[in-house]
Every structure is written in structure tokens, then in C-alpha cells.
Amino acid sequence: MRIAAARPLPLRLLTACSLLAPTVGCKSGSRESVQGAREDVASATGTPTEPEAPPRPLYDDAGFHAPDRAARRAAVGSLESLPPTLQRAFSETTAFRPVNPPDPGDWLAEHREPGQSFARFQRVAPNVPSDARRTIYVQPIGATADAPIETLSRFTADYFQLPVKTLPSVPVDGLPVTRRLNDDVEQLLAPELLTWLAKRLPEDAYCLIGVTMVDLYPDPEWNFVFGYASLSERVGVHSFARYDPSFYGRADSVSDGVRDALILDRGAKVMAHEIGHMFGMRHCVHYDCVMNGSNHLDEADGQPMHLCPLCLRKLQTSVGFEPDARYRQLSTRYEQLGMTREATWTRERAAYVAGDADDAE
């Protein structure tokens, strides 16, 4: 959905997108991309001698249809040749929920996503870290004193199992980036930020993510965007502006502790999400997953911090970590950050993937 800036709607109803990939066209939502998803699922079943009924399209005139269990397994692909630890890591268990059918106004109700199976992910030959190029760089843009950047950098290192470095902050004034006022909110044009970031990619960088407290917009016809990343150029940016309750005039309704926890939770999710895009991962349409698109803040808040089995397989194949060791490190990090629910979830997953515990009933 595109909304003309000349006819602004109440903020709660505005369309926001946490992925607009300029080089891949994720905001197009085309018929071709829906058909591509069908072909994709079919090719991932790998049972040519036992033809199955073609999977139901993700979209028809009635809207989005969540993939069923068989389609989810087909999207993850065959695990037969993998060691037991990886088989457990990429199998669907009760720890994961299928994608939520969208309510009106939610991302999947507004955007025709193509979906991306593991086989399709591999076919596009996404970027992968190398020995010479494996550091995730974080570039603060403008004043970011209210953003927990160092905390998020440590979280990011555990999440992606790669080194993370934070660069010195760069002032907004002087950036070669178009600025505008939208409903009295200052905004930066995100694609131009990506162009600028791409020129600053350090030699040893796997990727570079800009973080800012200034609001962003993806093009003049949109009202705002939470974040913006390229699937291929290894750069992205996200804004904390709308994570702070004070942006919506709700500062008085929450305590400082709740506000800080909200900003941290939202910041960690969007960091994982946008950097996930930089590994070539498209929006997840199969599971409740940190790689789900989000159209508004309530939707983003309802999404989990974790990667689903399908998206975890994509990231693990690119980075090569031990999934149970990653879950253990993340669990410790979440405990330090007071994120109790995530700490428990990752601790239980570590035990299950390591073979020390059964799936919960």
C-alpha cells in the first residue's frame, strides 16, 4: 500500500516496512513472485517419483494463506544428509509457531510476499562471510545517546556469531542525504543513506548497518520506514525514532524501566531482522519469526526475537556456527539484559539441539 504524503493518515494507520530491498524489489509484491514461491516449494520436496498435489498459492483473491506443515517442511528442505545436531536445529518442534494469519493492516495483508525456501535462498548465491571479511560494523548516525548501541552490538555478535565493531558517530548535518519534515517529524531518505554507507564499507566488513534516532522514509510517497536494507550490497539502516514511546506522545504512560526495555527489545529485533536481510534472507512467510515483515509497531512487538527453523538454516549455512553453542551464548546474553522469556527459550533450545532434552509437549 502506498500512501501519498500529501494526504497523511493517523500515524497508527500508516504503512511502514522493515524491508525494502532496492536491488531485489521486495516492495513489488508481484504475480511473478507469488508464482516463484509455488515453484520453489515444489522443487524443495525432492520426491519426483511421488508427485504431490501442487502447494496452495500463498495468495489468492481471499488473501494470504499460511503454508501448511508439509509446505513448511518442503521450504526447509531435506535434512537427511546433515549431522543429528543440525537435523534437530532445523526441524519444526513445539518451540516454533506457524506464521500468524494477518489481520487487516498487517504486513502480509498489505504486501504480497514471494516467500523464500532454503533451496531458493541457495540459488541466489547470497553473500557469505569470509576470513578476510567477517566483521559486522555498526555506524551511529547523529545523536544516539538514547539508543543502547553498545548493548545491541554485543547482542548482535552473539546472534550472528561474528565480530561486531561500532564506528564513531557521524553527525546528520553534512550527510549527502535528502531530509524532509513529515507532520513536523524530521526524516532522512533511506536509499540515499544506503548509497552513502556503501561507500564507507570497511575492507574487513561483512556488512555495515547504520543506526539513528532520526526517522526514515523510503521514497516521497511513503510516510516512514522502520529500517531499510539491501539483500546484496551488505548495507542497511534502521531508526530508533519510533521505538521510543515519546514519539507517539506516550512517554508519560510508561516508566523509564519499561521504556528502556521496550527500546532494547525493539532495537534487538530490528538489528537481527535488518542484518538478516544482509545475509540474503527475505521476509519469512512460513513461521512466526524475526524475519517476518511488520507494517506497524504493534505487529513488530508481537513478533519473536528468534529465527524459525527455515531462517536459522539459511543463517547457519552462511556462517557455519554450532546452533546449540549459539543458543547457549544468546541465553546468557538475554539473562544479562533481563530478557527472561528469550533466555528461557534459547536455553531450552540449546538443550534440545544438543540432544540433552526432548521437545516439549
Please provide the size of the chain in residues.
361
209 is a contact residue toward Zn ion (CB under 5 A): no
Tell me whether residue 64 or residue 287 sits nearer to Zn ion (CB atom). 287
86 is a contact residue toward Zn ion (CB under 5 A): no
291 is a contact residue toward Zn ion (CB under 5 A): yes
At 186, which helix (H) or strand (E)? Answer: strand 185-189
Name beta bridge partners: 264: none
Contacts of 331 (CB under 8 A, 6+ apart): 342, 343, 344, 346, 347, 350
Q: What string marks each residue from 235 to 274 as x (binds Zn ion by CB under 5 A) or -?
A: ----------------------------------------
**Grid cell in block for residue 200:** 564507507
In angstroms, what is the minimal distance from the CB of 311 to Zn ion? 3
15 is a contact residue toward Zn ion (CB under 5 A): no
Question: Which window, 40-48, 134-142, 281-289, 314-322, contacts Zn ion (CB under 5 A)?
Answer: 281-289
Interhelix angle 149-160/256-278, rounded to 10 degrees, is 40
DSSP conformational letter for 54: P
289 is a contact residue toward Zn ion (CB under 5 A): yes
Tell me whether residue 21 or residue 177 sits nearer to Zn ion (CB atom). 21
Give the binding-site size for Zn ion (rule: CB under 5 A).
9
Tell me whether residue 259 or residue 309 sits nearer to Zn ion (CB atom). 309
Instruction: Judge whether 338 and 357 are in contact, CB under 8 Å.
Output: no
CA distance 222 to 349: 39
**Grid cell in block for residue 322:** 554450532
Considering only residues 14, 15, 16, 19, which one is a binding residue for Zn ion as defined by CB under 5 A? Answer: 19
* Phi (first) and psi of residue 333, to 5 degrees: -60, -45
At 67, which helix (H) or strand (E)? Answer: none
User: For this structure, is 192 an active site residue?
Assistant: no
In angstroms, what is the minimal distance from the CB of 287 to Zn ion? 5
308 is a contact residue toward Zn ion (CB under 5 A): yes
Residue nearest to Zn ion according to CB distances in the complex: 19
Instruction: Judge whether 240 and 225 are in contact, CB under 8 Å.
Output: no
In angstroms, what is the minimal distance from the CB of 249 to Zn ion? 26
Tell me whether residue 264 or residue 315 sits nearer to Zn ion (CB atom). 315
Contacts of 311 (CB under 8 A, 6+ apart): 276, 281, 284, 287, 289, 290, 291
- State how far Cα 91 lies from the chain centre: 20
Burial of 34 (0-12, 13-18, 19+ CB in 10 A): middle
Considering only residues 16, 284, 315, 337, which one is a binding residue for Zn ion as defined by CB under 5 A? Answer: 284
CA distance 220 to 51: 48
- Which candidate in 113, 233, 274, 342 is catalytic? 274
20 is a contact residue toward Zn ion (CB under 5 A): no
Question: Which window, 152-160, 179-187, 203-211, 305-313, contacts Zn ion (CB under 5 A)?
Answer: 305-313
Tell me whether residue 140 or residue 227 sits nearer to Zn ion (CB atom). 227
Instruction: Judge whether 20 and 218 are in contact, CB under 8 Å.
Output: yes
Tell me whether residue 67 or residue 129 sits nearer to Zn ion (CB atom). 67
Question: Secondary structure of the chain: what % helix, strand, coil (to 5)?
Answer: 40, 15, 45
231 is a contact residue toward Zn ion (CB under 5 A): no
311 is a contact residue toward Zn ion (CB under 5 A): yes
Question: Which window, 152-160, 243-251, 286-294, 317-325, contacts Zn ion (CB under 5 A)?
Answer: 286-294
Question: Which window, 116-124, 237-245, 280-288, 317-325, contacts Zn ion (CB under 5 A)?
Answer: 280-288
Tell me whether residue 291 or residue 297 sits nearer to Zn ion (CB atom). 291
Contacts of 223 (CB under 8 A, 6+ apart): 3, 5, 8, 9, 11, 14, 15, 16, 182, 217
CA distance 297 to 14: 10
330 is a contact residue toward Zn ion (CB under 5 A): no
216 is a contact residue toward Zn ion (CB under 5 A): no
What residues are labeled active site? 274
Binding site for Zn ion (CB under 5 A): 18-19, 284, 287, 289, 291, 308, 310-311
